Chain A
Amino acid sequence: MSVPPVVYSGEGLSKSKRPGLGELIRKRPEIITLFLLITICIVVGVVNPAFLQASTLIDIGRASVVMGLFALGVLIILAAGGIDVSFTAIAAFTMYSMTLLVQSRLPDLPIAVILIMATVGGALLGVINGLLVHHLKVASLIVTIGTQYLFRGFLLSFIGTVWIMQLPPQMGAFGRRQLLQFESANGAVTTLPVYFLVLPVAAIITWWILNRTLMGRAIFAVGGNSDIASRLGYSLRTVQIFMFGYAGALAGLAGIIHVCANRQANPFDLVGTEINVIAAVVLGGARITGGTGTVFGTMLGVLLIVVINSVLVLVGIPSTWQRLVVGAFILLAAAFFVTRQRRK
């Protein structure tokens, strides 16, 4: 029995054979982010050549670590069609509790163990999010608004409200440990700390999970359409618990790094910056409605926000303008993505 040959003229065929610029941008929206980033760097570099020094770049790299870790967690959750606003509260909770624990009970705990404990602690809090989202069947935005208040409220009511100015020595040392050191012409010394390495490592692991494991594919499948994904046999429960747990782990890690870098633990810190992080991920091309997003794009989005936050001052724009600029960029990029998608 022979099947009649089909004459098929798929739209997708002819279109993807000759990719124009528009097509490329639609498939890889982070190109816009890259373009914005390069443009800003060129403009700022021309206006103030001091920007293009190694010291500025190192500052930007250092400032990207905490936001970058948060953003990788948000990326995974957005890709699976969820949203998380509790990760800053998870970070604040783990960083402050860990610091307090080390300071008052376990002063000899090695830094590696501290980092691991913070990561695991964050993951546990994240798993609570995942379980709630799965079993209550409530939108993740509502659940994580609730847990943000809960985690933060618990921290401030039961754990403490006092700033810890004197970090345990091993944590302070970790924050100061150098990877690279630069001396600029005017004698000022800039160092790239060791903890910077955490970000590229986390980015590679996240990329690997998303693109090389079945879990990664399942995350995108659930983000595409969770009903269909579960009908096809993807376990929603596993995906939801994993993604919130993973985001929580990254948040816990980011929190402890934040403490080590700033050399103090402020329990009121971090909460309130979550919109900034979500904005960075969306600027990196992930759709807020789920199912898309790349690690590369997310890193570009983070860099863009960090660059805006740190360089506007260099060209004489008041720091109060930062929000204005970030807002304009978000609208610009969003409008661009949408018109591209409609145009197909």
Chain B
Amino acid sequence: MCVPLISQSDAAPFLELKRIEKWFGGVHALRGVDLAFEPGQAYHLLGENGCGKSTVIKIMSGAIKPSAGTIVLHGQRFASVTPIQALSAGIETVYQDLSLLPNLTVAENVALSEQLVRANGRLARLFDRKRLRQTAERALAAAGLPTDRAFLDTVVSELPLASRQLVAIARAIATRARLVIMDEPTTSLTRREVDNLIGVVERLRSENVAVLFVTHKLDECYRIGGNAIVFRDGECVAQGPIQGYSKQQLAELMTGRSIEGKRYRSAAPSQQTLLSVERLEAPGIHQVNLSLRKGEILGITGLADSGRNELAMALAGIAPAMSGTVTLDGKTIHIRRPADAIAHGIGYIPEDRLAEGLFLDKSIRENEIALIISRLSNAFGIVNQQEGRRVAARLSEEMRLNTKDLELPVGSLSGGNQQRVLIGRALTIAPKLLVLHGPTVGVDVGSKDTIYRAIQKLAEAGMGLIIISDDLPELLQNADRILVMNSGQIVAEIDAEQASEDQLYKAILTNAPETAQ
């Protein structure tokens, strides 16, 4: 490996944060953070949601100003930097939301920033189309994307999510980056794309570029290697080579309490069948049969295009099935729209909670009672607010939200807490079946623990649960059985208690449906 040693003499830090403090109103988000970044190194910024990780990267990229402290950039001292200053110094950020402009082309998204930085942010400049194309081609090639004209001219909103991620990375490396910050870069990627990304990172490091990952996926951190930086409550609680820490230790550092990597599943399902799906046909899924008993937890996994997402959306009525039978609790039901699913007692927790699940500017209370608003209203349509508050308070208690103020907008909560609000809301309809689509995507270790415990409690109470996820340890720790999908069909069934992660992963990769061959 061409990774420079940490104590290499010429590798002086080119970016240092010294005693950085940040207050948001009365919230002390960063409490005197000291960090230093050396060329060619990999860093992993770890910590629970809300620990100050995003704040620190926003300060480094110039999106917000620190309340106190110094930023030392190439030996120069600053109280704060602007986005253009950060970019000119070679600090590139791939935000979790990717920060791509949906209406511009791939080439523009990748290479326009380079011209903007060259013009020092001034807009009264000609826009060099030839240079744009050349820069874009170079960067796309480096990120492993096609470089032909048709791809360069594709509008970003038409790209699949995984390639958008790579386009965002291509933008980061289009200029002479010194430090590339990646905020949860792998959440929407399949394994193969993650491999590609790691290859890109290796190459960046060999060109003396530092890389800072913000992530929840510890396995990937170990694969990449480098230094761990652990944040808790706005403070840096540990720093050092990641190989020197075990997963257990990192989890404890992040949460401040001990968390075992154990199997959560304990209770056994009953013998009564709750759900049976026969010969289900929907866009992207083909002849799916499955059954679920009361109190059972069924995992469903597969690659991103395997049909697992489509199956979830068919059960939730978002992309309804075209044919097939769904029997729930002995009754054949037809799910043509989301309201049907809710009426029959099927709760659904979408994968993209921000876009599909939550009203971000509405309060926790209003989000919690959104599904039962008609039940809370009287004959004149007036909502019983007192009862609504009671329901919301009980759910927040059950889901262990970290705030008592239920009037806060949901958008102000951390990812883990947002997810808890979403699960709490699904419970208000007292569902018989709960479909959880990627329940812990972008959620920290502590919240994961709470969510898993809640899932198990629901199963104990006799609810049937389906977890659709590509987080394999999550499925192995929580489910009774795991179904593997490929090309829209179920191709394998695995006993979660017996199987290992490797076995499961092999099943995902190797199984192809008989009819497709």
Contacts and interface: CB of A to CB of B under 8 A. Distances in A.
Interface of A: 1-8, 10-13, 15-17, 211-218, 220-221, 223-225, 228-235, 238-239, 242, 291-292, 344
A168 B470 CA distance: 77
Contact of A217 (B108, B117, B193): B108
B249 interface: no
The 3 A-B residue pairs whose C-beta atoms are closest, nearest first, are A12-B154, A291-B103, A224-B101
Nearest to B149: A16
A235 B83 CA distance: 10
Contact of B145 (A6, A228, A239, A344): A6
B2 A16 contact: no
Given A8-B144, A12-B159, A225 B102 contact: yes
A247 B513 CA distance: 60
14 contacts: A4-B195, A4-B199, A5-B144, A11-B158, A12-B159, A214-B125, A214-B127, A217-B108, A220-B101, A233-B82, A233-B83, A233-B116, A233-B121, A239-B123
A11 B144 contact: no
A221 B104 contact: yes
Contact of A214 (B115, B160, B163): B115
A229 B116 contact: no
Contact of B200 (A3, A212, A214, A216): A3
Contact of B112 (A1, A4, A221, A235): A221
Nearest to A291: B103
Contacts of A17: 150
Contact of B150 (A1, A13, A233, A234): A13
A16 B154 contact: yes
Interface string B1-18: 110000000000000000
Interface in B112-163: 112-113, 115-117, 119, 121-127, 142, 144-146, 148, 150-151, 153-154, 158-160, 163
A55 B108 CA distance: 44
Given A12-B154, A13-B151, A221-B112, A215 B103 contact: no
Given A213-B123, A223-B103, A238-B123, A232 B116 contact: yes
A11 B113 contact: no
A242 B124 CA distance: 10
B236 to A, nearest CB: 24
A134 to B, nearest CB: 14
B231 interface: no
Contacts of B102: 224-225, 291
Contacts of B200: 3
Of A8, A10, A229, A292, chain B has the most CB atoms within 10 Å of the CB of A10
A11 B159 contact: yes
Interface of A is mostly: helix
A216 B125 CA distance: 10
Contact of A15 (B97, B146, B158, B206): B158
A10 B125 contact: no
Nearest to A15: B158
A12 B63 contact: no
B150 A16 contact: yes
A319 to B, nearest CB: 38
B422 to A, nearest CB: 23
Contacts of B108: 217
Nearest to B63: A231
Contacts of A13: 146, 148, 150-151, 154
Contacts of B122: 214
Contacts of B311: none
A159 B82 CA distance: 45
Interface in B1-41: 1-2
B144 A220 contact: no
A11 B113 CA distance: 25
A216 B199 contact: no
A3 B199 contact: yes
B218 to A, nearest CB: 23
Chain B's interface size range is: 35 or more
A10 B126 contact: no
- Could you say which of A4, A211, A232 has the most chain B C-beta atoms within 10 Å of its C-beta? A232
A5 B141 CA distance: 10
Given A220-B103, A233-B84, A291-B103, A10 B202 contact: no
A8 B83 contact: no
Contacts of A292: 103
Contact of A10 (B95, B146, B192, B195): B146
A228 B97 CA distance: 9
Contact of B99 (A2, A7, A215, A228): A228
B123 A214 contact: yes
Contacts of B327: none
B160 A1 contact: no
A268 B121 CA distance: 42
B263 interface: no
A8 B146 contact: yes
B101 to A, nearest CB: 4
Nearest to A225: B101
Contact of A344 (B84, B117, B146, B158): B158
Nearest to A221: B101
B494 to A, nearest CB: 27
A217 B127 contact: yes
A4 B125 contact: no
A218 B123 contact: yes
Given A214-B116, A221-B101, A233-B117, A6 B144 contact: yes
Listed residue (A214, A230, A234, A235) with the most chain B CB atoms within 10 angstroms of its CB: A214
A1 B121 contact: no
A224 B116 contact: no
Contact of B104 (A7, A224, A233): A224
Contact of B87 (A213, A220, A228, A233): A233
B100 interface: yes
A4 B159 contact: no
B449 to A, nearest CB: 33
Interface in B81-106: 82-84, 87, 95, 97, 99-104, 106
Contacts of B196: 3-4, 6
Contacts of A238: 123
Contacts of B119: 214
A10 B154 contact: yes
Contacts of A228: 97, 99-101
A212 B127 contact: yes
A13 B158 CA distance: 10
B203 interface: yes
Interface string B185-217: 000000011011001101100100000000000
Nearest to A27: B155
B123 A1 contact: no
Contacts of A220: 101, 103-104
Contacts of B104: 217, 220-221, 224
A229 B108 CA distance: 12
Nearest to B159: A12
Contacts of B99: 228, 231-232
A158 B139 CA distance: 59
Nearest to A210: B127
A214 B126 contact: yes
A215 B116 CA distance: 10
Nearest to B58: A231
Contacts of A212: 126-127
Contacts of A15: 158
A188 B144 CA distance: 68
B497 to A, nearest CB: 35
Nearest to A219: B123
A263 B261 CA distance: 84
